[in-house]
Structure 1
C-alpha cells in the first residue's frame, strides 16, 4: 500500500466514529494501543435533549503525526526517515542501504553495488524512484541521500506498484515536504588511502500565497588510484597445475556529478493540488588502467600488457506533473503524467601489447539515448463502510537507441575487428489494477488487490533481424493484519503473485566481445527468446510492540519460481559466449529477525541510547543446477546488522555506530561454473555536534575495519579447472560535513 492510503482510511474511520457515538467506545482501546500521544482533556458534558441519550465522555489519545505505517498499514512496509538516511553523512545511497534490516549491497565494495532484498538482486529486487522504475542507464549509486525524503521497503507486493518484485520493492521518494523559508547548505570532504571526494549540497524551500516550492541541489567529485591484482590458474583433472598467471593492474580516475530536484506546489480551489516535480542527474567519469601479466607456467594470454582509457558521461532528466482533485460524493482522482530522457556517450581506447610490441589499437565509441512518456493514476471513493476501494492505471512508452562503433588500427599481424553495431528498441507497457483495504473489525484488516501488467518489447539492429516479444501477467494479491486482543502483538500474512521481466539488454542478440576470451572472461550476447520468471509467494510476520519505540519482529517468506533465468555458457567458433537462458524452477526461503528499542525500555535511569539489530537467513536452490551450494542468483545466505545511537541530555551531541555483516561461501552457478562470495564486515561510526540552531558538524568513518574486496570464479570440465581470483585492498574512509541553516 502507498503511504497515502492508510492516512486516508484513518481519517475516514475517524469521521465515522466521531459521528456515531456508540461506535466510538469499542474503538478507543485499539486506538490507544496503536498510537502514541498526549492525553487530552475530555470536552465538558453538554446539555442533551430529554429523549436523546447523553453522549459519553471519552478521552482520546492520538494525533495525526502518531500514524506509524509499519504498525498501522495492512500491507507490510518499513519507512526509513530523512533523519536515518542522513545520519552518517553518506554521499552514496548504497552506503545507507547496507545498514538497513534485511538489505544487503552486492558488488566488490568499490561502488556500483547492487541493492538486494532477501539476498537477491539482478531484477528480483525492484528499485523505484518516486514509484517508477529508473531508466536502464541510470545508476542508483549516483543519487545523493540529501535529495531523498524517505525510503519505503515493501516486503510483499501490492497492486499499486509494479509486481516485478519477487524479492520485494524499495521505493526511493524524493523530497516533497516544503518548510517555510528553509535554507540549508552542506560542505563535505571524504578521504581514504585510495580516494578523495569532496561534495556540496543546497536545500531551499519557501511559500508564497497558494504556491510553495523547494529545491535540492548536490554536487560531488572525486579521484581514486588503487590496485586491482588478478590471479589466473588452471589445474588438470588429476590436480596438477598447468597454468599460472599473475596480473598487476593499477586503476585510477576521477568522477563528478550533479543532482537537481526542484518542486513546485499549487493549492487550487476546492482543495485540489497541482505539483511539478523535476529531477536532473548528470555524472561524468574518466578512467585509466594499466595491466601487466606474468606467466610462470603454461601459455601466455593473447595480450600480456593492456593500457586502457575510458571517458563517459550520462545525463538523465525527468519531469512529472501531478494533479489531485476532489470529485463528487467523496471521490478523489490522483493523476500524474511524466516525460523523461536519458543520454550517455562513452569512449574506450585500448592498447594491447604482445612481446613488448603494440599488437592491437582499438577504439570503441558508444552512444545511448532513451526517451519515455508515462502516466499513472488512481481513482478512489467511499464504497462501503470500513472499506478503502481504489483502482488505477500505469502506462508508459519508451524508445531506446543504442550504437557502438569499434575501430582497430591497421598493425602488422593484427586482425582488424571493425564493427558498426546499433539497435533501436521500443518498450510499451500497460498495467491496470484494483485494490481494497477493509477494516473487518477494529483489530482485523484485510487487503486484496488484482493487477494486470502487459509488456511489449521490439528491437531492431544492424546485426540481427527485428525481434518482438509480448508478455502479460495477472497478479492476485492478498494481505491481512490482525492485532491480538489484550496485547500489543500483531500478526501478518500475505499471498502474492509476482514476476521478473527480462531487461531489454538481455533480449537484444548483439554481441560484446572480451579481449582475452576464456570461460571466465566470455563474450556476452542477449537472448530474444527469454521469458519472464513467475513466482508464487507467501509471507508471514509476528510483531511485538512492547514499549514506546520498542519492537521485536520475526518474518518468514517463501517464493516458488518458474522459468528461472541463468547465465548459459557455450563455445562458438572458438570463442566462449555467455547468454541468459530460461532453465527450470527455483525455490527461495527467508527468515528475518529484528529488534529495536531505547535502552530505557530495559533499564531504569538509562542513558539516551537507542539499540537496533537484525538477522536475515536465506536459503534457495535451483532445480537445473546440481548441489550443493546451488543458490539462486548467488544469494547472500546470512546477513546481520547491529547499531546503537546516543543523544546527550542537552541534545547537542549525537553519536553512534553500525556494524553490518554479510556471509558468503561457495556458489554453484551451473554445472561447470562456480564462484565464491567473500565474507564482508562493515563497521561505521559517526558523531554530530550541534553548535547552535544554525551550525552543526557531522563526522563519520566508514569501513573502519579496512575490509578487502574479493572476487573468485572457476570453470570446471573434462580438461580441468580454470580459476580467476582477485583481492582489492580496502581502506577506512573519513568524512566531515559542515551543515549550515539560515
Structure 2
C-alpha cells in the first residue's frame, strides 16, 4: 500500500510540474547504398536520429523543435528526401540543406513549402550536431550479416559518459557470449580461468562494483556479491552493449565502477531473418555445435522480432601446482589437475512494438537456460623434487549446474499535455539447482564418494517505473519513480557420507530468505545553456526496506540515500566534445554477509564468521572528465579520467564472542574507505586519410590505480586483483576484389595481487591473440573461420600463506612476512577454433 501511494504521489507531482527542459541535438554518419527506409511512429527526435543513421546524413535540430512531437509512419520510403518528407509530415517543421550536405530543420511558416521542396543548397544557423550511433534502424538483415563494412565505436548523444558498441563491432571474431565481447572494450578485465569470461570487472574493481543490466533492468544472478555472469548471455541475442561510466538521475545508482547495459535485438532495427550454424573445435578435436535463427518484420503500426539460439561450449584445462615450505624455498609436492567444463546454453528472446492510439507499447521477453557439467580430477604427489614424486591421494569432483534466467517487460509511452507519460513494468527471475559431489581415494579407480553439496536458489524481482517528461524553452524535465520488489530464497546444504549413510552437516543459517523493497523517486533536468553546452542534473532518493530470515532468526534494515548527479557536455566543434560528470553511486552488500549465516573456520581455522543483516551500502562519489574527437565520417578517439572515493567499505570486526573451536567470532561492518582512479583511452577508425578506407584499426588502453587500508591488517594496498594496465589492439581488412575480410585482435593486462587475512596471491595472464577470416558469397551467405587463444596463454598464480592459531597470530605473521607455505600454479586450456556459416532470408 505504501509503495502504491508513493508511486501515485510522484506521478501526480511529475504530471503537474511545469519546470522546463531540452532534448539533445543529434547527427550521424554511415551507410553506403542503404535499403528503403521503414519506421514505425515514435518520438520525432529519435526518428530523425534513425533516419540519419540509415542514410549517413547529418540532421541538425534544436531540442525545442522536436519536443513532444511524434513522427509519422514511414513505409518503404525510396531515398532520403522521401523519408524525411514523410517523417516531418504534420510536425510544422521544414528542412534546409547546407553546402556540406547537412540538413537543418526550421519551424515552417504558414507560407512555407513542403519539406521536399525546400531541400536547397542553403544553410540556416542551427544547434551543434552530435554524432549518433552508426548502423541501425531498420535495415535489411543481409546488410548487417553479409557485409564487408567495418563497424566502429558509436558516438552517442548522451550527456553522461557512455560508450556504445553495436554487435557488428565484435561479431567478425564470433564471440560466443557477452563476456567474450567485453574483452575488446576499455578498462574491462576478468579474474576467471583461461577462455572463461564470467564476472565483469570494470576498471579493475571487484565484480560487485560493476552493475549489469539487460535492457536497462538488473537481472538477478547466482553470485553472493550480486554480480551477474555475462558469459551466460549469448552474443546472438545482442543488439549493442553500452558502457555507462557515470549514471544520470533516471538511471540506477548502483555501479560504482560503471554499468554494463546489454541491449537485446530490437524489432525496429531489422527486416528479414537470418540463420546460423557453427561448431566450436577444441584442441583435442572434440566439437560442440551452435545454431541460431531469427526473424523481424513489421505490419502497418506493429513490428516484431523473435530469435532462438543453441550454443554448445567446452573448455578442457590442465593445471599444475607446485607446493613449497616457506616462501618457495623447499619443494614438497605437486598436484596435477584436469578440469573440463562442458555445457549447453539455450536462449530465446522476442519483442513486439505496436502503436496504441497516439502512444506506443513495447513488449519484450528473454530466457536463458544453462546446463553445465564441471569435472575436476586432482592427483597429489609428495617428494623432495619434481624428479622424485610419489602419488599420495586423488580427489574427483563432479559439479552439475542448472541455471535459468527469465525476463519479461512492458513499456508504454503516450503523449500527455505538453509532454510524454511513460509506464514500465517487468519481472526478472533466476533459478539455480546445482549439485557437487566429491570422491577421495589413493587412486582414481579407488576413489569413493565422501561428500555432497547442493545449492538451490530462487530469485524474483518485480519492477515498475512511472515517469513524465516535457520540454519548455531550452529545458527538459523528467520526473518519475522506480519501484522494485525482490525475494531471494537460498538453500546451501552439505552432506557427508558416514558408513553408507548420508548425514547433513549444513551450517546454521545456510537456508535463508532475503526480501527487498525499493522506492527510488528521481528528478532530472537537461538544460541547453547554449547551442554548444548542455547541462544534465538531477537526483535520486533511494529508499530500501530489507528483511532477512533464517532458522537463526530475522532482522530488518531500512536505509535512505540521496544520490545527486550532474553532467556537462561541451561541443567545442562539430568533431570535438568535452564531457564532465560527477555522480554519487552505491554498492549493496553481499548476500552471504547480510544473512545470519554462521560460517565455521572463517576467517581463520578456529574462528567463526556471522552475517550482519544491518550492513549498509557502500557509497561513492565519482568524477569523470572526458574528451572525444570524431575522425572523418566513421572514426573516433576518446580519453577519460575517472576518480572514485568510496566510503563505508565493508570490513570484518571481532565481536568479542568466543567461537566453539576457541577462536573469535567475527562480523561484517561498515567502516573503511578507499579510492580508485585511472585514465581510459580508446581509438577506432578507418584509414581513409591514408587512402585505405577498407582498413580499420582498433585500440584501447587503460591505466589503473587505487588505495585502501586493509580492514584486517591495517596496511595500505590496492583493491584486490586490480591490474595496473589493460589493453587491446587490432585491425580488420576488407578485400573488396575477393569479397572477403580478415582481422586480428591482441589483448593483455599487467599483473595483479589479492590480499586476505592469511594469504597473498600474485596473478598474471599471458597475452590473448584471436583472428578471423571470412568469405561472402551469393549476397546472402558468410562463411567465417575464427580462432582464439592462439598464443596458448597461461594463467599463473603464486600463493603465500601465513599461519597462526588465531587472527592475531596470523596478522603478526603476515606483517612480519613469515610465510608458512607457498604454491605456484599454472593453467592452460589450448587453442579454440570455430567455423560459422551465416545466411539471411
- TM-score higher than 0.5: yes
| Whole-angstrom CA distance in 2 between matches of 1:404 and 1:41 | 62
Q: Answer yes or no: is 1:232 the counterpart of 2:311.
A: no
When residues 518 and 373 of structure 1 are mapped into structure 2, their CA distance, relative to the original with a 3 A threshold, is closer
Taking the TM superposition and a 5 Å limit, the aligned residue runs for 1:123-162 are 123-137=208-222, 139-162=229-252
Q: Answer yes or no: is 1:305 the counterpart of 2:390.
A: no
Match of 1:706 in 2: 792
Match of 2:832 in 1: 733
Match of 1:465 in 2: 553
| Whole-angstrom CA distance in 2 between matches of 1:41 and 1:497 | 37
Shift of 1:491: 1.7
Match of 2:741 in 1: 654
Match of 1:426 in 2: 515
Taking the TM superposition and a 5 Å limit, the aligned residue runs for 1:408-423 are 408-411=496-499, 418-419=505-506, 421-423=510-512
| Whole-angstrom CA distance in 1 between matches of 2:375 and 2:765 | 29
Alpha carbons 1:325, 1:334 under 8 Å: kept: yes
Q: Answer yes or no: is 1:184 the counterpart of 2:274.
A: yes
Alpha carbons 1:566, 1:580 under 8 Å: kept: yes
| Whole-angstrom CA distance in 1 between matches of 2:777 and 2:769 | 27
- Partner SS state of residue 371, structure 1: strand
Alpha carbons 2:127, 2:531 under 8 Å: kept: no
Q: Answer yes or no: is 1:645 the counterpart of 2:744.
A: no
Match of 1:250 in 2: 338
Shift of 1:325: 1.1
Shift of 1:532: 1.6
- Partner SS state of residue 179, structure 2: helix
Residue from 170, 188, 193 that aligns with 1:85 = 170
Alpha carbons 2:130, 2:157 under 8 Å: kept: no
Match of 2:183 in 1: 98
Q: Answer yes or no: is 1:364 the counterpart of 2:457.
A: no
Shift of 1:285: 1.5
| Whole-angstrom CA distance in 1 between matches of 2:411 and 2:300 | 19
Shift of 1:634: 2.2
Taking the TM superposition and a 5 Å limit, the aligned residue runs for 1:285-296 are 285-296=372-383
Q: Answer yes or no: is 1:676 the counterpart of 2:766.
A: no
| Whole-angstrom CA distance in 1 between matches of 2:785 and 2:340 | 27
Shift of 1:79: 0.9
Of 708-717 and 84-93, the range deviating more from structure 2? 708-717
Q: Answer yes or no: is 1:406 the counterpart of 2:478.
A: no
| Whole-angstrom CA distance in 2 between matches of 1:187 and 1:522 | 54
| Whole-angstrom CA distance in 2 between matches of 1:545 and 1:293 | 57
Cα deviation 1:523-549 (Å, max 9, x = unaligned): 986443433211112111122334332
| Whole-angstrom CA distance in 2 between matches of 1:578 and 1:550 | 54
| Whole-angstrom CA distance in 1 between matches of 2:238 and 2:256 | 25
Match of 2:364 in 1: 277
Shift of 1:443: 0.9
| Whole-angstrom CA distance in 2 between matches of 1:501 and 1:623 | 20
Match of 2:593 in 1: 506
Residue from 118, 132, 135 that aligns with 1:67 = 132
Match of 1:214 in 2: 305
| Whole-angstrom CA distance in 1 between matches of 2:233 and 2:169 | 16
Alpha carbons 1:360, 1:411 under 8 Å: kept: no
Residue from 385, 388, 397 that aligns with 2:473 = 385
- Partner SS state of residue 717, structure 2: coil
TM-score (norm 1): 0.85
Cα deviation 1:152-197 (Å, max 9, x = unaligned): 1111221122111211111101111336751211011111225643
| Whole-angstrom CA distance in 1 between matches of 2:184 and 2:606 | 33
Shift of 1:43: 14
TM-score (norm 2): 0.76
Cα deviation 1:647-699 (Å, max 9, x = unaligned): 2335822222111121114x262565322120441111112221022211122
Match of 1:25 in 2: none
- Partner SS state of residue 408, structure 2: strand
When residues 296 and 520 of structure 1 are mapped into structure 2, their CA distance, relative to the original with a 3 A threshold, is farther
Alpha carbons 1:489, 1:542 under 8 Å: kept: yes
Taking the TM superposition and a 5 Å limit, the aligned residue runs for 1:482-631 are 482-484=570-572, 488-510=575-597, 526-565=611-650, 573=661, 582-601=670-689, 603=690, 605-606=691-692, 608-624=694-710, 630-631=717-718
Q: CA RMSD in A?
A: 4.0
When residues 558 and 706 of structure 1 are mapped into structure 2, their CA distance, relative to the original with a 3 A threshold, is same
- Compare relative contact order (CA 8 Å, sep 6+) and give the higher one, 1 or 2: 2
Alpha carbons 2:237, 2:264 under 8 Å: kept: yes
| Whole-angstrom CA distance in 1 between matches of 2:479 and 2:799 | 48
When residues 295 and 715 of structure 1 are mapped into structure 2, their CA distance, relative to the original with a 3 A threshold, is same
| Whole-angstrom CA distance in 2 between matches of 1:704 and 1:682 | 7
Shift of 1:466: 0.9
When residues 693 and 350 of structure 1 are mapped into structure 2, their CA distance, relative to the original with a 3 A threshold, is same
- For structure 2, the 5+ residue unaligned runs are 1-21, 27-42, 49-60, 68-94, 113-117, 134-153, 223-227, 803-809
When residues 583 and 728 of structure 1 are mapped into structure 2, their CA distance, relative to the original with a 3 A threshold, is farther
Residue from 428, 450, 468 that aligns with 2:539 = 450
- Partner SS state of residue 178, structure 1: helix
Alpha carbons 1:196, 1:224 under 8 Å: kept: no
Residue from 465, 484, 487 that aligns with 1:376 = 465
Alpha carbons 1:285, 1:311 under 8 Å: kept: yes
Match of 2:260 in 1: 170
Match of 2:293 in 1: 202
Shift of 1:553: 2.5
Alpha carbons 1:320, 1:336 under 8 Å: kept: yes
Alpha carbons 2:695, 2:731 under 8 Å: kept: yes
Residue from 400, 413, 416 that aligns with 1:324 = 413
- For structure 1, the 5+ residue unaligned runs are 20-27, 49-53
Alpha carbons 1:513, 1:522 under 8 Å: kept: yes
- Partner SS state of residue 161, structure 2: coil
Shift of 1:93: 1.4
Alpha carbons 2:603, 2:609 under 8 Å: kept: no
Alpha carbons 1:627, 1:668 under 8 Å: kept: no
| Whole-angstrom CA distance in 1 between matches of 2:603 and 2:322 | 14
Shift of 1:39: 6.8
